[in-house]
A and B are shown apart, each in its own frame.
Chain A
Amino acid sequence: KAGVTQTPRYLIKTRGQQVTLSCSPISGHRSVSWYQQTPGQGLQFLFEYFSETQRNKGNFPGRFSGRQFSNSRSEMNVSTLELGDSALYLCASRLLEETQYFGPGTRLLVL
């Protein structure tokens, strides 16, 4: 089985722009979670989608949003980018309620 894939792998944006990141889960996995990882804050949970519905949400501003499609692929969007949004964004998929499988991440740099 193919693993979790994320596109793009690297991205450079400027403040005020918006960005969309994509995640394709492992085939058969219906749950997709997104995390932001920075040196200062560590791994922070953004949100989780299950069967196209947002099931859980972390403590991030409304500029961070996501969605999941019927094929379980997920996108996250960040609008009005700020310098502090520079981070590694990780997507993970899981079957049922247990082990998460992570993608390689998208490294976003906001200038």
Chain B
Amino acid sequence: SQQGEEDPQALSIQEGENATMNCSYKTSINNLQWYRQNSGRGLVHLILIRSNEREKHSGRLRVTLDTSKKSSSLLITASRAADTASYFCATDLNRDDKIIFGKGTRLHILP
């Protein structure tokens, strides 16, 4: 079964609005990463948050991590058409260093 599960599976919002995606995981982690994938291409790394961090920012991206709830959220502010993509969370398990991906959230920014 997947370690990370993103929620929602799909999200459509108007350009300029904020988009929030959530990720839940099952076992303890070293870190959690978010990636973006455009239409069946390779994944692009967005941000990494370590297990001892609670929040991290990068440009219009804000990631939070709650290890007690085993969950993370990715917020994209002031969305743009170019943000249309699938977003994946990936957890780096501290028991064997394997990086496991969730099934992703498909984000569609409407003009």
Contacts and interface: CB of A to CB of B under 8 A. Distances in A.
B is a partner of A: yes
Interface of A: 4, 33, 35, 42-45, 48, 55-56, 58, 88, 90, 92, 97-105, 107
A90 B43 contact: yes
B30 A100 contact: no
A1 to B, nearest CB: 15
A101 B35 CA distance: 10
Contacts of B88: 43
Contacts of B90: 100
A48 B98 contact: yes
A40 B88 CA distance: 15
Interface of B: 2, 30-31, 33, 35, 40-45, 48, 88, 90, 92, 96-104
A102 B97 contact: no
Contact of A33 (B31, B45, B99, B102): B99
B96 A56 contact: yes
A99 B48 contact: yes
A102 B44 CA distance: 7
B100 A102 contact: no
Contacts of A92: 43
A55 B42 contact: no
B30 A107 contact: no
A98 B98 contact: no
B104 A42 contact: yes
Contacts of A45: 98-101
6 contacts: A35-B101, A42-B104, A45-B98, A88-B40, A98-B48, A98-B92
A98 B31 contact: yes
Contact of A56 (B98, B101, B102): B98
B2 A42 contact: yes
Nearest to B104: A42
